[in-house]
Amino acid sequence: MSTTELASPPRPTEETPEHGVISIGDVTLSQVVHWMEHDLFVFRSTEFDVIAADEDLQTAIRAFVESAQDYARMVGDLGADELTQDEAETALLIYRRLNDAYQGIAADLRARLAHRVRIVSILRKRGHDAPRSWYRKSSLPTSSPQPHG
């Protein structure tokens, strides 16, 4: 290999995974390890018992988020006599992080909506709410017949 060629980084495997996070907006859902298994992108939480994989990277990430939600829901559905302290704490952790992420998304949407409402309000103050003619007005003078009389 010449000095001008760059070696591609080794493909992560289950034995030598990459470490990272899966986030929703600015909120970290979980610390994860990631590797390739055949043609699958695999993500496994290092904090709780969730793993997801798909051939498409974005789909694998979405599948991880959905699996975390499903895990928390499943634990939440357990009866008090079936639920361990660790499972309850894990479900609460996932729900708290999801709640924080969804509140951030909702705040962003509210800000964008408020900005849009301000623009519409400004336009209406400028007379943009007047009825519109949806036919092309001619720039040439026209005349109409005068009644004889």
The domain 18-122 having CATH identifier 3.30.160: the answer here is yes
145 burial level (CB within 10 Å; 0-12, 13-18, 19+) = exposed
Res 142 pLDDT > 80: no
The reported pLDDT for the residue numbered 140 is: 45
Which carries the bigger pLDDT value, residue 143 or residue 86?
A: 86
What residues are paired with 51 via a beta bridge?
A: 44
Phi, psi of 101 (to 5 degrees): -65, -45
Q: Which two tokens stand for residue 144?
A: 């109409």
Choose among 62, 60, 71: nearest CA to 37. Answer: 60
pLDDT in tens, 88-140: 999 999 999 999 999 999 998 888 887 766 666 665 565 555 554 444 444 44
Per the document, the length of the chain is 149
**Please, what is the average pLDDT of the chain?**
82
pTM of structure:
0.70
Query: DSSP string of 25-77?
Result: TTEEEEEEEEEEETTEEEEEESSSS-EEEESSHHHHHHHHHHHHHHHHHHHHT
pLDDT in tens, 15-52: 999 999 999 988 999 999 999 999 999 999 999 999 99
